[in-house]
Structure 1
Amino acid sequence: MANTNINEISKSLETLYLDGKFDKAVDLLLESKNQLSAVDFHYNLGAVYTKMGDLGPGRYHFELAMKKGYIGSDLLNNLAVIKSKLQGVDLSLSRDIGDQLVNFLSMVPASYSICITLVLLITSLLVFKFKYIKSKIVLVSLLLLSFFPIALQQGVLYGKTFAVNLKDMKIYEGPSSVYDVRATLPGGSKFVLGKTDGEWFYIDHPIELAGWVKKEDIGIL
């Protein structure tokens, strides 16, 4: 029965999408959230919002689908299309090497890093078992190196909170609208949040966006 419902939802969603009834497609997805997997829900919602021209919500839901473990060519292509349309500064477009590393690692699901680490661990043990290497010191070194992928990701991303602005957003010099506006950012940019002050968040990276933004304007990943 569950599969039947999902198939019906998929067919209805496809029909609405092809007919250009995007608002109704959004409503259907929101109503069906509990019946869909997290990946299907966020990916399809991202696709519909992007088709509507709402780059902020589109980017936000694509990023959430990726965070849930999906990295497909269709998702990456959609993200590339959104990034090509961005008129502001974005973490993924930063020339800073540190920003590029943070952005890359944020796109890799933790489950991938864990799988890579496990494969490296098993490979190291098999190599030692079949005596391709005989030194226990070398084995220990390989085992330690096997933890590098997960250690790198966790180390670089530790304490970092990512977000996407859902709509055109003003960046203020301080945590209040009484402060001067530093810049106005079109919806769809990704950045790293830092300290908070009530309903206000400070953007840490990219440095070009440093300033305070309202919580209501962003989607936290």
Structure 2
Amino acid sequence: MEDTTIEDTLKTVEALYVQKDYANALKTLEANKSKISSGLWHYNMGTVYAGMREFGKARFHLLQAEREGFISKESEQNLELVEKELETTRLEKPLAWSDYAVRGAMIASEGILSTLALFVLIAGMVGVLKKKSLSAFAALTVFVLLIVGLDFWINSWPLAVVSAPQGIQDGPSAIFPTREELPAGVLVLATHQGEWRKILYPSRYQGWIKNTGLEELK
């Protein structure tokens, strides 16, 4: 439970939101960031940005809230509405096998792999205890560690949400012309190279963009 001071702060934010005074709602949240649990703070930031129709920033905060364990009926509804406004289904539609692989891996990392690791561990330990085999125990341990390691690796991918439209270029330099625009709200997997990032996913947007206008998920 949040303490009374934080509850009052959130009530103030809610009142400002209802009045459509979004600027002061954001200021109130930013001033009290250290006092509010991170997931709840991101949820409220996402909700306010959605009210402002800044859907790219809204999606970032709502996804970050979800990654930090803040999941509720309201947060899921807000995220669904924001993604509908952004048309993420169309913009992030897989076009290549790599898109399907990345998307599948991200879905698997949302609890599926950890659940699988636990199931394999429990089922495997039952078998090991029956056989009393040291080699079977070693094989089980390696397999479970591989699953856990895969889950950890996927969750370490540098994912970011585009908060403002970006120009995509063919190389990490201003000498390259802008090829097309990367729309706000798109979730990208991109590696760092100085002031630039190379987009790997979605494949339709592969190219180079500046670091500005991106909100990195942690």
TM range (shorter): 0.7 to 0.9
Cα 1:70–1:95 shift into 2, 3 Å: farther
C-alpha root-mean-square deviation of aligned residues, in Å?
A: 3.2
Cα 1:127–1:14 shift into 2, 3 Å: farther
Partner secondary structure for residue 3 of structure 2? helix
Residue of structure 1 equivalent to 2:86: 86
- 1:194 Cα deviation after fit: 2.2
Cα 1:73–1:88 shift into 2, 3 Å: closer
- 1:64 Cα deviation after fit: 1.4
Residue of structure 2 equivalent to 1:154: 152
1:56·1:167 contact (CA, 8 Å) conserved in 2?
yes
Q: Deviations over 1:167-219 (max 9, x none)?
A: 121111222333211111221111110241x2111111111111111111211
1:31 aligns with 2:51: no
Residue of structure 1 equivalent to 2:178: 181
Residue of structure 1 equivalent to 2:213: 217
Give the residue type in structure 2 aligned to 1:47: T
The 2-side partners of 1:52 and 1:39 are apart by: 20
Residue of structure 1 equivalent to 2:202: 206
Give the residue type in structure 2 aligned to 1:83: E
Partner secondary structure for residue 172 of structure 2? coil
Gaps of 5+ in 1: none
Cα 1:114–1:156 shift into 2, 3 Å: closer
The 2-side partners of 1:22 and 1:209 are apart by: 32
Mean CA deviation greater in 168-177 or 183-192:
168-177
Partner secondary structure for residue 212 of structure 2? helix
1:169 aligns with 2:163: no
TM-score (norm 2): 0.79
Q: What is the number of residues matched between the two proteins?
A: 215
The 1-side partners of 2:176 and 2:208 are apart by: 10
Residue of structure 1 equivalent to 2:14: 14
- 1:78 Cα deviation after fit: 2.7
TM-score (norm 1): 0.78
Residue of structure 1 equivalent to 2:40: 40
